[in-house]
Amino acid sequence: MSERTSPSTALDRSASGFDDDRRWLRAFRRDVEARYRGWLSIVVGPSRHEDRELWEGALVTEALDIHGLDHWARVAAVGVGLLHARLATAPDEAQGLLPAEWENALVTAAFFHDIARANEGRDRGHGERGAILFQALVERGAFTDCAPALVAATADAIRDHDSRPAVLPGANLLLQCLATADRLDRPRFGDVVDRELLYPDLDVERWKPLAEVLLFDEGSM
């Protein structure tokens, strides 16, 4: 696979209104879901056949419901929104990389963050297993949609997205956006989002209501 950019307008997201954000979020979610289906077919399918020891016990997506592909795509869309909003206000955090490179890394992290789950419950260690899968596929040249400079940060985000404590000191930007977007999808369980579990430097006030729209509005499908 080659690197690609999304239909988003990158940093222009910082200046849009709620309705524009909602339209963008729906379109981006659909684009990401299509991309993920391709990854499942082109990358994951052959790897599960050839590298069975890596995938042992993983349900991937066909056996996952609340932690499956729909969830991955919502987390990616909200996470990318959070990411671009943060880069617009703190451009130095881009570390000289293009916004599109950060975006692709976040989309990658969202794809792998629950892919190694063995069950739909707490499943301690699924982030670690997902990070191992991601790194193995990168090392074997089977996955190339993440800039080399962001591979380590992407692996860290996958590994620590369900960390305890929930907010880790010194967390990289990808981890902050991935973990916060994942927790903003918690209302699908009937939970109220706990602000103490969200990374404080991100624009949660803007993206929390949008995450709820994406989760509950049938028009997002």
Q: Is 54 part of any domain?
A: yes
- Rg of the chain's alpha carbons, rounded to an integer? 16
Owning domain of residue 19: 14-220
Is there a domain that residue 170 lies in? Answer: yes
Using CB atoms within 10 Å of the CB of residue 133, give its burial: 0 to 12 exposed, 13 to 18 middle, 19+ buried: buried
Give the model's pLDDT for residue 142.
83
pLDDT of residue 75: 96
Would the pLDDT of 5 be above 50?
Answer: no
Contact residues for 211 (Cβ-Cβ < 8 A; gap 6+): 74, 78, 181, 184, 185
Q: How many domains does the chain have?
A: 1
**Looking at residue 221, what is its pLDDT?**
42
The model's pLDDT over 155-182, given as tens digits with 9 standing for 90+, comes to 999 999 988 888 999 999 999 999 999 9
For residue 4, being part of any structural domain is answered with no
Q: What percent of the chain shows pLDDT beyond 70?
A: 89
Q: Whole-angstrom Cα distance, residue 171 to residue 155?
A: 12
Q: Is residue 48 part of a domain?
A: yes
Between CA 77 and CA 74 the distance in angstroms is 5
- Asked if pLDDT for residue 138 goes beyond 90, the answer is yes
Give me the mean pLDDT over the 13-35 stretch: 87
More confident residue, 216 or 11: 216
- Whether residue 2 lies inside any domain: the answer is no
pLDDT at 140: 87
Predicted confidence band at 63 (pLDDT cuts at 50, 70, 90)?
low
Q: What percent of the chain has pLDDT over 90?
A: 56
Question: Six-digit token pair at 58?
Answer: 């993983």
Per the domain annotation, does 69 fall within a domain?
yes
- What's the whole-number mean pLDDT along residues 31-59? 87
Residue 204 included in any domain: yes
pTM beyond cutoff 0.85: yes
In a domain, 213, yes or no: yes
28 Ramachandran zone, left/alpha/beta (phi>0; psi -120 to 50) = alpha
Q: How confident is the model at residue 219 (pLDDT cuts 50, 70, 90)?
A: very low
